[in-house]
Amino acid sequence: MPKLIIEGNRCLRGEINLQGAKNSILPILAAAILCEGESVIHNCPRLSDVDTTIKILNYLGCKVKFEGSDLTIDARNVDRDEIPGEFMRKMRSSIIFLGALVSRLGSAKFSLPGGCELGPRPIDMHFSGMRQLGLTLKEKHGVIECNVGRGLVGCNIALSFPSVGATENLILAAVKAKGTTTITNAAREPEIQDLAKYLNSCGAKIRGAGEGTIYIDGVEKLTGTEHTVIPDRIVAITYMAAAAATSGELQLNNVNVGHLSSVIPIFEESGGIIDFPNKNSLIIRAPSRLISTKIIRTMPYPGFPTDAQAPIMAMLCTADGTSVIVENIFESRYKHVGELLRLGADISVEGRTAVIEGVKRLSGAEVKAADLRGAAALVIAGLCAEGVTKISGLSHIDRGYDDIEGNLCKIGAYIKRI
Ligand code: UD1
């Protein structure tokens, strides 16, 4: 079983060029099948989730070329409307192909993605919005069969929660529907704006992405385009937390500072100093000891992101004082806590609230990652712990971090994969 071996307690110093955003590239790749032409996507990270998505695209009939960080998708010959169960199981976000397939081919077949490492993850909002647009969904032997009948027709969809995936799926389904679709209480994440930017450059007519109400005027046809994926804000937070936890100093390049507005105050409150040497870079300088922060509550964007909860918790394990985190987005997102305790952290969890009592130091141990951001938290904890930390469950980290060992070694970490 592959493991990351970290010799901790080293101060991280240097520069990292940030990768493109996982949560942008995945929906954009699904959107590429709407185009009767070729799309070239720049700044594409090397991730196992991207590999799985490429396999889905190939299966559906696309030709895909991945060179450096440029991904070319020729979607002229998309002719299959089915997502095999193995892909749905591997990557829950494959559900995004539902909207894309019904838009392109008028039908889709897939098995239910089920729960995941973050607890139950219903997709009821995706389905009810699709039904409003005119999609028929039938379940047979665990497979959902969807058909647009005479075509999708624009309508007003009010989401009961600003779900990122449901907003994206409904945009994809509505982009070629007849008339105008309005999505209210839409998610406002930057990745949604990125998806809309890509689609608009292919000929779609989407207004309001990034705001609570999104308007989509259906168009007949989309063509291919060139697009550069936004920087990954969660990976940025992960590296910043690693630098902060090790009393380090890090310059991050290719950052969108505006996307980090809910987390920069947390780094500052814990004692870090943040500078912006230019529009696309950020420097964090950490003190020799961090201090605890006020209550952190995860919220939909522009609030504090749930994906940053685990990395920030790892950083706060050795901050002087008591920090409190409330997880409001997912029911079961504290699986990393048990492993942080093995490293000597003092954390108690009650329901959605975690209380972190800062300890003097963490000490290396063997731990196992149970989900993507939990894995990142264990890496951060290992980097500041005394002694050696061995992390297994690496398939999780490879879903979202492009060469995490290489990047961390470049700034002074001792970390290798065996
Ligand atoms: C996306 C991100 C994930 C991030 C999450 C929240 C991608 C590929 N993944 O996931 O990294 O943690 O946003 O920012 O972009 N819900 C329902 N019914 C639905 C849909 C969602 O009840 O039909 C609930 C979920 O169970 C969860 C909450 O809504 O409690 C938020 O989920 P959602 O925003 O949909 O997350 P994802 O799109 O799956």
For atom 32 of ligand 1, the residue with the nearest CA is 163
Distance 399 CA to ligand 1 centre (A): 17
Cα of 187 vs centre of ligand 1, distance in Å, is: 10
Is the whole model's pTM more than 0.95, yes or no? yes
CA of 389 to the centre of ligand 1 (A): 31
302: cis peptide before it, omega within 30°? yes
Q: Where are the alpha helices (DSSP H) in 230-371?
A: 233-245, 264-269, 309-316, 335-342
Ranges in the chain annotated CATH 3.65.10.10: 4-19+231-417, 22-228
The pLDDT value recorded for residue 211 is 97
Atom 20 in ligand 1: which residue has the minimum CA distance?
Answer: 123
CATH architecture of the domain formed by 4-19+231-417:
Alpha-beta prism (3.65)
Atom of ligand 1 nearest to the CA of 191: 15
Quick one: DSSP state of residue 7? E
pLDDT on residue 297: 98
Q: What does the alpha-carbon distance between residue 241 and residue 259 come to, in Å, rounded to a whole number?
A: 16
Of 118, 164, 167, 262, which is best to mutate to test ligand 1, by the most ligand atoms within 8 angstroms of its C-beta? Answer: 164
Residues with Cβ within 6 A of ligand 1?
23, 26, 93, 121-126, 161, 163-166, 187, 191, 306-307, 329-330
CATH of domain 22-228: 3.65.10.10
Cβ-based neighbours of 340, under 8 Å, separated by 6 or more: 313, 314, 317, 347, 362, 377, 378, 381
Amino acid letter, residue 328: N
pLDDT at 114: 56
**Catalytic residue among 11, 44, 116, 155, which?**
116
| pLDDT for the residue numbered 122 | 84
Using 70 as the pLDDT threshold, list the residues of the chain that sit under it: 114-120
> Does residue 116 have an active-site annotation?
yes
The pick from 92, 98, 117, 121 for probing ligand 1's pocket by mutation, whose C-beta has the most ligand atoms within 8 angstroms, reads 121
Residue 41, classed as helix, strand or coil, is: strand
Return the H-helix or E-strand segment holding 165: helix 164-174
CA of 356 to the centre of ligand 1 (A): 25
Residue 417's closest CA among 241, 239, 398, 314?
Answer: 398
